[in-house]
């Protein structure tokens, strides 16, 4: 595994608002990283910095390049889908493929055509005539046919219905992903994503509050479902989060031994959504 | 080089009226030629022409022009002049519209994020749009203008009004004049083109206002503060096209001699050696460079 992205003291402010507060992180090749955070947390700013779309302070190295000064070269090895609405309405499907084939040295048009042949999209249609879901399919077809090392997806399934969302991620995994590639994805629909991620990064108020592999998350974090009479005992062990469900108490523990917790109730692996809520509230307490 | 040709093709896919406008004008002219022939053959023979000739009878037109070769030459001259002016007018209007949209439209619909996900520099993008204005559109206009001329010559013969007095050599010379003229006009108008591109790259809304208001403001401030009018008169003078080398002072004197060729490529020597052309080109290059920088800077908003 090699380090694909290296950020040190990465910062960005808009006027008086701090969007990124000097964060450090590394992203290794072959990872599928979920970048999760509430609105305005700095996710999109971080992605824009990686893509050379914004100025920043601190050090940032993406595939051995400076994303600001070497942006044009970087785009040969990096693809991104900003959100589903950015393909221009006047563009014909066939022309979109022709264009990318003309300007992108690592694009294989036959791969895009093969992918599209399994959808309802016709080459003569214009983007404006396609449904939102079909536009996302077209964009994905274009991006998947690019032999890139890094794919950045910023809310790629925003506004799509559940069928398209499922299809989108399954296509991405089955058709595209392999050890040579790295994917960074932000989304609000964490539940749909958690099974495909290898790494999880939470960002809040411009800071990284969690940065773990999915494996270490299931080792580190455990959810305890305790009956009310055990609640005080559980609380004494210092859970990072607590809430009540149907009269039972849910506690989330970080780095606590499972033997001790098992005596107090049922243990589960926390979902990414629960972990997210806990981590976001932890910062505020 | 290959990516650049695709950038240019993309512009033509998006802005099809860049080449459709001159085609449409040719079609309109063809229809009016046909209408004129039909009317002539249907016996509508009386045509009123403004000026010292008063009205005259079309049936006798051929005889009249045969008897007055100077008038026939004048009529040919007017025909080619009017056609050129029509096509050039359409070219300039479509280019102004194209440029206003050029670096604004993709920010408005956010497709800039898609274009910028490709390994293409902002410089290449801006230059591809400039190439449409400087070369591709004038070329399309020239081709359609030549077709409209040939159709007109054919229609005049078919209508039996008169035959053009110009020899084949004269017509070929005219084409040389026009193609050189269109490209010199591109250079001449570069400061305007560059300015509109800059406004288009800058505007978050209403690129038209960003194009028009700053120069108006500058001119009025000069009028009020310095009580002079250099800015408006310099811009106004420069806005007068050089393409009809016939209308621009100085060039007129060379070409107005009927009997000699009316349109002469030699007229452009005076334009090419003028300081005004090259100062304008230099200002235009500054505006285009500024448009590239602004484009990169504005892209951060999306």
**Each residue of B107-119: pLDDT tens digit?**
998 899 899 889 9
Contact across the interface for B300 and A55, Cβ inside 8 Å: yes
pLDDT at B259: 36
Say if residue B262's pLDDT is above 60: no
Residue of B2, B111, B117 with shortest CB distance to A102: B2
Query: Closest Cα of chain A to B16: distance in Å?
Result: 11
Say if residue B263's pLDDT is above 80: no
pLDDT at B29: 92
**What would the pLDDT profile of A269-281 be if each residue is shown by its tens digit?**
888 888 888 888 8
Inform me whether the C-beta atom of residue B17 falls under 8 Å from chain A C-beta atoms.
no
* Chain center to CA of A18: 21
Orientation angle between helical segments B190-202 and B168-188, nearest 10 degrees:
40
Q: Name which residue leads in pLDDT, B23 or A243.
A: B23
Query: Closest Cα of chain A to B39: distance in Å?
Result: 42
B chain contacts of residue A102, beta-carbon cutoff 8 Å: 2-3, 5-6, 9
* Chain center to CA of A73: 24
The average pLDDT across B56-82 equals: 70
Which B residues, 182 through 221, put their C-beta within 8 Å of a C-beta on chain A?
none
Query: Closest Cα of chain B to A68: distance in Å?
Result: 11
A chain contacts of residue B12, beta-carbon cutoff 8 Å: none
A chain contacts of residue B109, beta-carbon cutoff 8 Å: 86, 88-89
The residues near B275 (Cβ < 8 Å, ≥ 6 apart) are none
B chain contacts of residue A139, beta-carbon cutoff 8 Å: 114
A chain contacts of residue B114, beta-carbon cutoff 8 Å: 82, 86-88, 139
Query: Closest Cα of chain A to B21: distance in Å?
Result: 18
Most confident option among A193-197, B86-90, B196-200, B274-278: B196-200
Say if residue B55's pLDDT is above 60: no
**What would the pLDDT profile of A15-43 be if each residue is shown by its tens digit?**
888 889 989 999 998 899 999 988 878 88
**What would the pLDDT profile of A133-191 be if each residue is shown by its tens digit?**
889 889 989 998 998 899 998 888 877 788 888 888 888 888 778 778 899 998 877 78
Q: Closest by alpha carbon to A79, among A175, A173, A188, A184?
A: A184
pLDDT at A125: 95
Say if residue B253's pLDDT is above 50: no
pLDDT at A228: 79
Contact across the interface for B109 and A95, Cβ inside 8 Å: no
The average pLDDT across A92-99 equals: 95
Q: Name which residue leads in pLDDT, A73 or A82.
A: A73
pLDDT at A283: 58
State the pLDDT confidence band at B26, using cuts at 50, 70 and 90. very high
**What would the pLDDT profile of A117-143 be if each residue is shown by its tens digit?**
988 999 999 999 998 888 988 998 999
Inform me whether the C-beta atom of residue A107 falls under 8 Å from chain B C-beta atoms.
no
**What would the pLDDT profile of B186-196 be if each residue is shown by its tens digit?**
999 999 999 99
Say if residue B182's pLDDT is above 70: yes
- The region of weakest confidence among A97-101, B75-79, B291-295 is B75-79
Residue of A92, A99, A104 with shortest CB distance to B119: A104
Tokens 């219905």, located at residue: A161
- Name the burial class of residue A7, with classes exposed (0-12), middle (13-18) and buried (19+) by CB atoms within 10 angstroms of its CB: buried
The residues near B141 (Cβ < 8 Å, ≥ 6 apart) are B22, B87, B88, B90, B91, B182
The average pLDDT across B133-145 equals: 95
Tokens 């951060």, located at residue: B300
Inform me whether the C-beta atom of residue A285 falls under 8 Å from chain B C-beta atoms.
no
Nearest-by-CA chain B residue for A94: B13
The secondary structure of B110-172, three-state, reads CCHHHHCCCCCCHHHHHHHHHHHHHHHHHHHHHHHHHHHHHHHHHHHHHHCCCCCCCCHHHHH
Inform me whether the C-beta atom of residue B110 falls under 8 Å from chain A C-beta atoms.
yes
Contact across the interface for B120 and A139, Cβ inside 8 Å: no
The average pLDDT across A225-254 equals: 83
Looking at the DSSP bridge assignments, the partners of residue A65 are A62
B chain contacts of residue A71, beta-carbon cutoff 8 Å: 121
Question: DSSP letters of A232-253?
Answer: HHHHHT--SEEEEETTEEEEEE
Contact across the interface for A75 and B119, Cβ inside 8 Å: yes
Share of chain A above pLDDT 70, in %: 98
Query: Closest Cα of chain A to B108: distance in Å?
Result: 10
Say if residue B214's pLDDT is above 90: yes
pLDDT at B43: 62
Inform me whether the C-beta atom of residue A90 falls under 8 Å from chain B C-beta atoms.
yes
User: Do you know the residue count of chain B?
Assistant: 302
pLDDT at A258: 82
Phi-psi region of A151 (alpha: psi -120 to 50; beta: other; left: phi over 0): beta
- The region of weakest confidence among A200-214, B258-272, B284-298 is B258-272
State the pLDDT confidence band at B255, using cuts at 50, 70 and 90. very low
Contact across the interface for A54 and B121, Cβ inside 8 Å: no
The average pLDDT across A80-106 equals: 89
Q: Name which residue leads in pLDDT, A282 or A20.
A: A20
CA–CA dist A232, B212 (Å, integer) = 72
CA–CA dist A139, A149 (Å, integer) = 17
Say if residue B60's pLDDT is above 70: no
What is the predicted ipTM? 0.85
pLDDT at B257: 43
pLDDT at A233: 82
What tokens were used for B130?
């400039």
CA–CA dist B183, B189 (Å, integer) = 10
CA–CA dist A140, A112 (Å, integer) = 9
Contact across the interface for B5 and A86, Cβ inside 8 Å: no
Question: DSSP letters of A8-63?
Answer: EEEEEEETTEEEEEEEEEEEETT-EEEEE--TTSSHHHHHHHHTT-S--EEEEEET
pLDDT at B46: 55
The average pLDDT across B277-294 equals: 95
Q: Name which residue leads in pLDDT, B263 or B247.
A: B263
pLDDT at B250: 38
The average pLDDT across A226-252 equals: 83
A chain contacts of residue B112, beta-carbon cutoff 8 Å: 86
The average pLDDT across A239-266 equals: 83
């Amino acid at each position: 595994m090699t380090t694909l992205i290296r950020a040190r003291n990465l910062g960005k402010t808009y006027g008086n608002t701090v969007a990124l507060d000097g964060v450090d992180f590394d992203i290794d090749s072959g990872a599928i990283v979920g970048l999760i955070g509430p609105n305005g947390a700095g996710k999109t700013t971080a992605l824009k910095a990686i893509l050379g779309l914004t100025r920043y302070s601190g050090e940032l190295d993406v595939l051995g390049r400076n994303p600001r000064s070497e942006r044009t070269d970087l785009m040969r090895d990096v693809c991104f889908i900003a959100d589903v609405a950015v393909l221009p309405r006047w563009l014909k499907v066939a022309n979109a493929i022709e264009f990318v084939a003309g300007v992108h040295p690592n694009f294989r048009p036959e791969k895009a055509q093969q992918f599209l042949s399994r959808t309802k999209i016709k080459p003569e249609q214009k983007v404006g005539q396609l449904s939102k879901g079909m536009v996302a399919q077209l964009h994905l077809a274009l991006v998947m046919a690019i032999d890139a090392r890094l794919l950045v997806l910023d809310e790629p399934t925003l506004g799509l219905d559940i069928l398209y969302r499922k299809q989108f991620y399954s296509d991405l995994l089955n058709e595209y992903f392999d050890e040579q590639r790295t994917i960074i994805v932000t989304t609000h629909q964490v539940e749909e994503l958690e099974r495909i991620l290898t790494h999880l990064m939470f960002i809040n108020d411009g800071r990284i509050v969690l940065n773990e592999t999915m494996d270490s998350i299931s080792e580190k974090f455990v959810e305890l479902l305790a009956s009310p009479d055990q609640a005080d005992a559980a609380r004494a062990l210092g859970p990072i989060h607590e809430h009540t469900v149907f009269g039972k108490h849910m506690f989330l523990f970080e780095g606590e031994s499972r033997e001790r917790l098992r005596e107090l109730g049922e243990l589960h692996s926390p979902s990414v959504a629960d972990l997210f809520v806990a981590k976001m509230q932890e910062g505020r307490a | 080089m290959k990516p650049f040709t695709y950038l240019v093709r993309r512009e033509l896919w998006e802005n099809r009226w860049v080449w459709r406008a001159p085609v449409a004008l040719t079609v309109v002219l063809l229809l009016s030629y046909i209408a004129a022939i039909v009317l002539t053959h249907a016996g509508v023979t009386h045509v009123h022409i403004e000026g010292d000739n008063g009205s005259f009878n079309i049936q006798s037109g051929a005889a009249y022009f045969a008897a007055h070769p100077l008038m026939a030459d004048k009529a040919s001259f007017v025909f080619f002049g009017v056609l050129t002016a029509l096509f050039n007018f359409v070219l300039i209007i479509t280019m102004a519209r194209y440029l206003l949209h050029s670096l604004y439209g993709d920010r408005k619909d956010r497709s800039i994020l898609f274009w910028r996900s490709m390994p293409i520099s902002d410089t290449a993008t801006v230059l591809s749009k400039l190439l449409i204005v400087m070369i591709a559109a004038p070329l399309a206009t020239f081709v359609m203008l030549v077709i409209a001329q040939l159709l007109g010559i054919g229609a005049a013969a078919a209508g039996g009004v008169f035959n053009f007095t110009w020899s084949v050599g004269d017509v070929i010379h005219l084409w040389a004049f026009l193609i050189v003229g269109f490209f010199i006009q591109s250079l001449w108008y570069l400061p305007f083109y560059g300015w509109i591109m800059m406004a288009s790259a800058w505007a978050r809304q209403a690129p038209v206002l960003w194009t028009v208001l700053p120069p108006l403001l500058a001119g009025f401030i000069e009028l009020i503060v310095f009580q002079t009018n250099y800015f408006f008169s310099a811009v106004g003078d420069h806005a007068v096209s050089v393409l009809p080398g016939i209308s621009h002072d100085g060039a007129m004197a060379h070409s107005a001699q009927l009997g000699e060729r009316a349109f002469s490529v030699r007229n452009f020597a005076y334009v090419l050696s003028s300081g005004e052309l090259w100062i304008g080109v230099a200002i235009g290059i500054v505006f285009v460079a500024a448009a590239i920088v602004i484009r990169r800077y504005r892209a951060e908003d999306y």
